Amino acid sequence: MFLYGVCRVFFILMFHIDPNNNYNLFASIAYSFGNLGFTAVIWALEKAKYKTKFFFLIALIISIITIIGTIAELLSLANVRETLLLIITLGMPVAGFFIIILYISLIRLSAGVVRKKAIYGLIGFLIFIIGIFMDGQTFLQIHTFLPSDAAAIFNFFTMNIVPLICIGGLLIFAIPQL
């Protein structure tokens, strides 16, 4: 989740450091850290109870492709922004789905403290995913269809409440793991 925190920092920077020229670059860097964070969670979950590394390998491949694309963009070797967005748009939900499956299996196969931590981890992760969905481009486009008063309320919600939902989910996820 630390890597996903770094991801969010780059999302903030993309709006504050010359967004006209650096938006795509900072977004790509953010997505790379986000993918690495999800990959690390999948690795930890699979390591806990499973002999296979199937889910981890798929997530790792998605992360490596995203990082290579980001480096290519950074060095101006290629303009692969649209390809990266497609991979991220498809890859992140797949990684999230893998995490949910692994948590459900861990809850089913465990007992005691491990099961309790896994339940909190799953609940926190689901709340976090809801917050991330509400922070995504598709959800944010809703304001364009709303009357101006409703759009103002929607914008307040997305700018102030949605980050709290994400933070709440991360805290529910992380605190029991300590």
pLDDT in tens, 119-177: 999 999 899 888 887 876 667 677 777 788 887 788 788 777 888 888 888 889 888 87
Contacts of 142 (CB under 8 A, 6+ apart): 154
In a domain, 73, yes or no: yes
Answer whether residue 112 shows pLDDT above 70: yes
How far, in Å, CA of 113 to CA of 117, rounded? 6
In a domain, 172, yes or no: yes
> Domain containing 129: what range?
110-178
Q: Which helix (H) or strand (E) holds 101?
A: helix 81-109
* The two structure tokens encoding residue 112: 């005691």
In a domain, 178, yes or no: yes
Query: Looking at residue 47, what is its pLDDT?
Result: 75
Contacts of 174 (CB under 8 A, 6+ apart): 1, 124
In a domain, 103, yes or no: no
Contacts of 95 (CB under 8 A, 6+ apart): 35, 38, 39, 42, 59, 62
Per-residue pLDDT of 24-48, as tens digits, reads 778 778 878 888 887 887 787 777 6
Q: How many domains does the chain have?
A: 2
Q: Are residues 89 and 119 in the same domain?
A: no
Q: Are residues 38 and 62 in the same domain?
A: yes
State the residue for tokens 């499956």: 101
Q: Are residues 88 and 2 in the same domain?
A: yes
In a domain, 105, yes or no: no
| Percent of the chain that is helix, strand, coil (3-state, to 5) | 90, 0, 10
Q: Are residues 27 and 85 in the same domain?
A: yes
Per-residue pLDDT of 49-108, as tens digits, reads 676 677 777 777 877 887 787 777 777 766 777 777 777 777 778 778 888 888 898 899
Query: Looking at residue 140, what is its pLDDT?
Result: 67
3-state secondary structure of 111: coil
